[in-house]
Structure 1
Amino acid sequence: MESDKISNLPGDAIKQILTHLPIREAVRTSVLSSLWRYRWALLPHLVFDDQCVSNQNHKTCAQINTEFSDIVDHALLLHIGPLHTFKLSYEEFLAANDIDRWILHLLRKSIKEFILQKWDGPQYKISSWLFSCQDLVRLELHNCLLKPPLTFKGFRSLKSLDIQNVTITQDVFESMTFCCPLLESLTLCNVDGFTNLKIGPRNLKYLEFRGSFAEVNLENNLNLVDVSIDLDFYLWDVPGDSINLLKFLVHLPRLQNLAIKSFFLKYLSVGALQGKLPRPCLDLTSLSISICFNDPEEILTALCLIRSSPALQELKISGACRGDLSLLFGLEDMAVLGEVENSWLDDNCQNCSFTQLRLVEVTGVSGVKAEVDFIRLLLLTSPVLERMTLQPASANWVFESLRELVEIRTRHASVQAEIIPLDSN
């Protein structure tokens, strides 16, 4: 009789198969043979998402939610052994009492990673039981209200914290982050409850924040190597003595990767510097930046940052069109560089050389003169440039503008450089 290949698979192979199956299908493998029975219950990672419920088109929302809750209850009840990761990512309604019950169960499991992506309904007030999970290494919360008990003194083992669409007071946020001595990665997106952002963990290496903040304080974060910033604050509320490029970078001496999105470059251009920073960004190798080419201060601030990064190898630029910035900032004499003398280009061509820059990508190219001049400057001053990729915001202008740039590249830039126009669609 031919042997049963499925039943005779090695234990490691069975584990690999179960790891890649949705939890609903993994549970059903118990009927294959005695060797497979309850092997899923030893899985250290449990993920509950929309794939848990089948034939959703033929069921009411209440039936779908009940079935989903029953699956989670069943899996947790039968699970044996250590549980490393518990992830809930569900688009339908999740009852608060169900989540509370599951968190209480996880507390007994010494959970290491807890991920709650709640997409529907009101914010879930995090159960106080979660703050007792002192073995947590990773915590990710979406659409929640964070209010820990007064006895909470931080997560002693936490290394990664990701909170998005969360309501939390400034005191609670600072106590949570300052009291996590091992925290290395922090992500904040659309956080409500405070406007002055102060980042305190001294061991932090990765930081991403997006939302509306009137003030950003990165003091004492000397170990940060990767920072991504996307601020969408009300620009008319920015104080006159707000942060500038020099104040911002002095607290980031080990920075290697920096992404500046939305309005943050304007935030840094207060008291714009020309030339180079007094202290260069010696370790910065990758820079992604959003520039409004209608704003001379933003262009000069971007140039100052690029020129102050002698190790820069990869540069990504996103063109931004913010024609009403003069109203927002009260700049009466805002000049569009495409309409004025471009002496800034000649001055910078004579005094800068991007000796390590190899890859340049420019998206949202609109073809305004200041933008084309900026691209030309990069071509003329990057002797080892290998590739430049241009993605137009519109296909209407690209052919004429690119023809001029290609000619410049042929005469001046590295023979290995390529300009690749991408279809805007």
Structure 2
Amino acid sequence: METTFVIQKTQKKQKLSEKEDISGNIKSLGSLPEEVLRHILSFLPTKDAVRTSVLSKRWEFLWVSIPNLSFERYTSDKSKFVETELLMNFVDRALCLRDSSVIKRFALSCDVLFDHEASRVYTCISTAVNHNVQELNIDIDIRGFDVVFSLPSCLFTCKTLTSLYLNMWARKLNLPTTICFSNLKILTIEYLTFSNEYLTQQLFSSLPVLEELKLEDCSWGDLKFVTISAPKLHSLSIFKMGMQDGDIQRSGDLCLVTIVGDSLKEFYYKGLMFAEYCLYNSFSVEKAEIVTKPEYDRKPTNIARFLWNLLIGLSGVELLRLSSDMVKVLSDSPEFLPHMPMFNNLIDLIIVDYRVDLDCTVLLKILQKSPCLQTLSFSEGISLSLNRKEDDMILDPVPLCFLSHLKWINIGTYFGLEEELLAVKILLKNAVVLDKINITCPASYDKNFDRQVKVLTQLLELPRTSQNCKIRALTV
């Protein structure tokens, strides 16, 4: 059945009034209730929302009460930089004309180079707080500002604030003497240096309902001890990728950070290991990730000790993602091996970043300590040194999970090398209840049929202890 659409030609300059209908059925946008119009405007960039004031008299002041305000140092296409003076003039006008309605979300991104710019930023943040702001995003580059910059003290006692993002680009965070975030649920702090031990401790002890905490490239400076204690904290992420400038002195990060995780479910650590983190009462953690690299200007035993302490605190996890670098650092410090905790709840173990050696002592120890492991993944592949070719004692004793629970093995970046094939052979030989092993080959193998056949034939010829095991080779 064929359907034909007929498009009728209309006048080129047809103008719709606010009361006119489109096609006699759908009312024009201008006739919608003001509350709905403000909701629609809240999805636009603030600059575009302001521009709607020229549409008609009814639209002239609609934007002054929209719930979301965002002021960025860059234009919408990110191609041009907006001078702070011009940006702050726009911010001042928007806040000056605003009525008393609540600001749901307020975002400000700008540079501060002079005293008068710092003063204007301070004032606009105070104004947002006075409008019972709920979500506040502050991204202030003060690297060129030589005078101490402080945020308004009213921010740290704001009762309506539920989400706070704070980035002051590698400068010290000056905290007020009174801190109480009574309703803050999400806190993200980036590129800051903590300078006062007492006030920093007060900050991380004044978060009674906090659920998510993210610290990215922050420095503990000269602090020696900090405790993060938030009774409802659900997710903690710490990223330490390294600064692009010298504002944060890496050598100053020798702090012991204790995390009281009564309600903690997720823990993520990515980057360089500068400080020591200890998880206390963290039996509730279900998902954890430690992806770190060795620091060659630090003692390997110190890094290994930091990592062991983290593993001990994560003994109750169900999903654990570790970097191959971390596994190697721990293997190079065998004195900690006897202290490996039991991972009785661990179901999924994932090794990322680089290909790992099946003969790695820490990997084998974790497998021995994970009796309920069901899925074992090597995202960048696995191998075994050819000098162990005749050694059948790699998995001796065979981990309990290999005999009763291990169902899936995933191996990424498989080239079909002899040392890779040997590792797969040992896994298949010892995994008694294995259902499936997924092996991923490089995408280039799609164009090399002979290579595909060779790799697949080698895999299929390997002996399997589990009669139900299926070998699945694919390319990405």
Q: Does 1:162 align with 2:188?
A: yes
Q: Quote the residue 2:151 is aligned against.
A: 127
1:401 Cα deviation after fit: 4.7
**For 1:72 and 1:201, how far apart are their aligned partners in 2?**
40
d(CA) in 1 for partners of 2:204, 2:217: 17
- Return the offset for 1:167: 1.7
Q: Could you give the per-residue CA deviations for residues 337-366 of structure 1, whole angstroms, max 9, x where no partner exists? A: 343345354536675428666766545556
Alignment pair present for 1:141 and 2:166? yes
**CA offsets 1:275-323 (integer angstroms, 9 cap, x no match):** 99663341x44444336556677x34234435644565665534399xx
Q: Which has the higher contact order (CA 8 A, sep 6+)?
A: 1
Structure 1 gap ranges (5+): 322-334
Number of equivalent positions: 401
Matched, 1:234 2:313: no
- The structure having more radius of gyration, on CA atoms, is 2
Q: Name the structure 2 match of 1:200.
A: 259
Structure 1 residues 234 and 161: alpha-carbon distance in aligned structure 2, compared to 1, 3 A threshold: same
Give the one of 37, 47, 53 matched to 1:30: 53
The Cα shift of 1:127 comes to 1.6
Distance 2:435 2:152 in 1: 54
Q: Structure 1: which amino acid aligns with 2:438?
A: M
C-alpha distance after superposition, 1:139-183 (max 9, x if no partner): 223324343345134533333332232222482544422342333
SS in 2 for 1:200: strand
SS at match of 2:301: coil
Tell me, yes or no, if the aligned pair for 1:197 and 1:213 is still in contact at 8 Å: no
For 2:258, give the aligned amino acid: I
Confirm or deny that 1:85 pairs with 2:83.
no
Of 20, 44, 64, the match for 1:21: 44
Report the secondary structure of 1:347's partner residue.
coil
Q: Which residue of 1 aligns with 2:212?
A: 185
Give the alignment of 1:159-308 within 5 angstroms: 159-169=185-195, 171=197, 173-192=200-219, 193=221, 194-202=253-261, 203-210=263-270, 211-235=272-296, 236-239=298-301, 242-243=304-305, 247-252=309-314, 254-261=316-323, 263-269=325-331, 270-271=333-334, 279-282=342-345, 284-290=346-352, 293=355, 299-306=360-367, 308=369
Matches within 5 A, 1:28-107: 28-33=51-56, 36-49=59-72, 52=75, 61=81, 64-80=83-99, 81-89=101-109, 93-95=111-113, 97=118, 98-107=120-129
Q: CA RMSD in A?
A: 4.5
* Matched residue type, 1:221: S
Please give the TM-score of this superposition, normalised by the length of structure 1. 0.72
Distance in structure 1 (CA, Å) of the matches to 2:142 and 2:461: 54
For 1:212 and 1:125, locate their aligned partners in 2 and report how far apart those are by CA, in whole Å.
29
Shift of 1:384: 6.3
TM superposition shift of 1:24: 1.5
Q: Which amino acid aligns with 1:217?
A: C
**How far does the alpha carbon of each residue in 1:57-98 deviate from its partner, in whole angstroms, 9 at most, with x for none?**
6xxx5x6443333333333333441123223356xx455614
User: Could you say which residue in structure 2 is the equivalent of 1:326?
Assistant: none
